[in-house]
A and B are shown apart, each in its own frame.
Chain A
Amino acid sequence: MSTHTDRLGTSERAVRRRLDRVTDPELDESIVALDYVDEIAVEGRQVRVAFTLPTAWCSPAFAWMMATDAREAVEALPGVDRARIRLREHLHEMEINEGVNEGLAFAEAFPDADGGVAEVRATLDAKARLARQYDAVEALLEAGLDPRQIATLEFTDLWIDDPAVAFVRERSVGVSVAADPVESYLEKARETGLVADDHPELFRTPEGDPIPVDRFELIQHRCRLATVNMGGQGSVCDALNEARRAENRPPLSPEEHIP
């Protein structure tokens, strides 16, 4: 069955909302919020998206992940048949643009690379999960839960609404908690396979195990460290981005200068 919007395609706004879910895997921040997206063009059921990264030598694996995620996110819209992604001003833009738009695997686009992107993605996702766990746990502490309650909280003890509710004391008491950090954590917990594994506990050590109560503080400190690392790297990327776009800055090398 085809609806009115389906036939007409989609809107730039809808595309942007989809792209907002795509993150820079190293910073765990939306590519829309980071201002990487330069252009969105909708023509009927075809969409074109152009984006630029802070430096021309950003890891090709990261660039690949963002480009494929963007394509998938946009093509998941009901009114879109085809999304073409164009990465600009990158050392490997040719390989990436060709590979992503033709649906190649990373190893096909980069025969010299040592491995696929799956492992890189898993490492960065695990870090992003820790950073999000930090925020969710802080929100629960703020809401009045104690470390034992948080460490033993299970996925099924959460009720997602606005605000979210965490049930404690054998589910006899519901405590309101800010929904954003909890939902954002759940999203990464799902992506990293924690929701479907053998443990019912909501929060985990970096290795994926339930958190022993006596290690609660240490684990939270490690989660904080993941947050600070991502923020620190974001600052370095920012500064390079500004330097690169400064007036009078010569192009890095001729083949990189894409009109």
Chain B
Amino acid sequence: MFMYHEYTYHDTMYERNGEEIFVIDSHVHLWDASKENVKHEGGEQFIQCFYDYHTGFTPEDRQWSMDEYRQYDPDRMAEDLFGNAAVDMGIFQPTYLNEFYHEGFNTVDDNARLADRYPERFVLNGRFDPREGEAGKRELRRQKEEHDIQGVKLYTAEWLGDSKGWRLDSEEAFEFLELCAELGVENIHPHKGPTIRPLNRDAFDVADVDDAASSFPELNFVVEHVGLPRLDDFCWIAAQEPNVYGGLAVAAPLAVHRPRKFGEIMGELLFWLGEDRLLFGSDYALWNPDWLIETVMDAELTDEQRDEYGVELTTDVWRKIMGENAAELYDIDIEAKKRAFASDDVAERFGLRDHYAGADAAAD
């Protein structure tokens, strides 16, 4: 198991200076980019591009082969998430890409295959596309009824017919956001991140979040990938809109080979948004959470960065980013979860009873 200087991982939870950290991985997928499922060249390019991100930021001995990467089953995913107690819970974020894949890349129904097996361990988010009109609204209602979704992942760069993307501040998108508010789907996760081939870079422009967030104060907007390569635009918007959050997927793996850059980015995020509005996400299977969480929590700011930003990556900060902030958005009672997890199916299957042994004491 992993041993880092400040952290001890053995049979209990992640600990930092003797304190437990409950991990909710706020960004995970169960995808299928098998050759049989690819229907358009864009689908092949998309998974190849993902694989570049995977190998570019994964320690060599933890890299997957391309074949493994195309498609993995719910068993492997459960093993990767819980087998070594990497995370305590996961939030599924679907990505449809129906123009690229026959059955979609990573749909809410795909994700339900694992989430339904361990419902207490997962939050299952849905998705909408405002270009789908009334049919799209019916589908959103179906997702709410069938899967009780509490959030949606939005992919503004998705292709549909001749369209190469849509905007979150469009009239059509606002109709869907209204429907979300009405259905109690409160957490909106727009992907605003690095260009992924063959999608249009400008369709990930973060500017449209501003208007949507100020028009829907009752919803929370978790900007996935903190807007990279537009971190500056994202931070400036978030500094003014209290219901805008940052999802750390893709930013986190910079800690692997570029810890100094990672420190700077964390410094900026803590400076502009503060410690209550950042959520860790591994982006699994882009990256495996076990080594990533260890690496991220092991990262330290340089003295210069501490002075510059006036912030610290303390245990309290990490506890919030790794789990408490997501728990707040998704009404998760962490202490109750710990008690339940000590004897649930996941604990049985992966021998995690001792991992939650401290739960009763912590509840007192």
A156 in contact (CB, < 8 A): no
- Residues in B neighbouring A238, C-beta threshold 8 A: 258
- Residues in A neighbouring B228, C-beta threshold 8 A: 229, 232-233, 236
Main secondary structure of the interface of B (DSSP, over half): helix
- One of B18-26, B51-59, B121-129 contacting the partner: B51-59
A59 in contact (CB, < 8 A): yes
- Residues in A neighbouring B57, C-beta threshold 8 A: 239
Instruction: Report if A231-B56 is in contact (Cβ < 8 Å); known contacts: A225-B232, A236-B194.
Output: no
A252 vs B52: C-alpha distance in the bound complex, in angstroms? Answer: 10
- One of B263-271, B330-338, B341-349, B354-362 contacting the partner: B263-271
Q: How many residues of B contact A (CB 8 A)?
A: 37
From A55, A225, A240, B235 is in contact (CB under 8 Å) with A225
Main secondary structure of the interface of A (DSSP, over half): helix
A246 in contact (CB, < 8 A): yes
- Residues in A neighbouring B198, C-beta threshold 8 A: 57, 91
> Is B52's CB under 8 angstroms from A244's CB?
yes
- Residues in A neighbouring B268, C-beta threshold 8 A: 224-225, 228
A59 vs B268: C-alpha distance in the bound complex, in angstroms? Answer: 26
B230 in contact (CB, < 8 A): yes
From B53, B201, B264, A228 is in contact (CB under 8 Å) with B264
Q: How many residues of A contact B (CB 8 A)?
A: 32
Instruction: Report if A229-B257 is in contact (Cβ < 8 Å); known contacts: A250-B66, A253-B44.
Output: no
Q: 19 pairs across A/B with beta carbons < 8 Å?
A: A59-B195, A222-B232, A224-B308, A225-B272, A228-B268, A229-B229, A229-B231, A231-B264, A232-B228, A232-B229, A235-B254, A236-B228, A236-B229, A243-B53, A249-B55, A250-B48, A250-B66, A252-B45, A252-B49
| Chain A interface (Cβ < 8 Å from any Cβ of B) | 26, 55-57, 59, 91, 114, 127, 130, 221-222, 224-226, 228-229, 231-233, 235-236, 238-240, 242-244, 246, 249-250, 252-253
Sample of 15 further A-B pairs with CB below 8 A, known A55-B197, A228-B231, A232-B228 = A56-B197, A91-B197, A127-B232, A224-B308, A225-B235, A226-B232, A228-B264, A229-B231, A233-B229, A236-B228, A238-B258, A240-B53, A243-B55, A246-B55, A252-B49
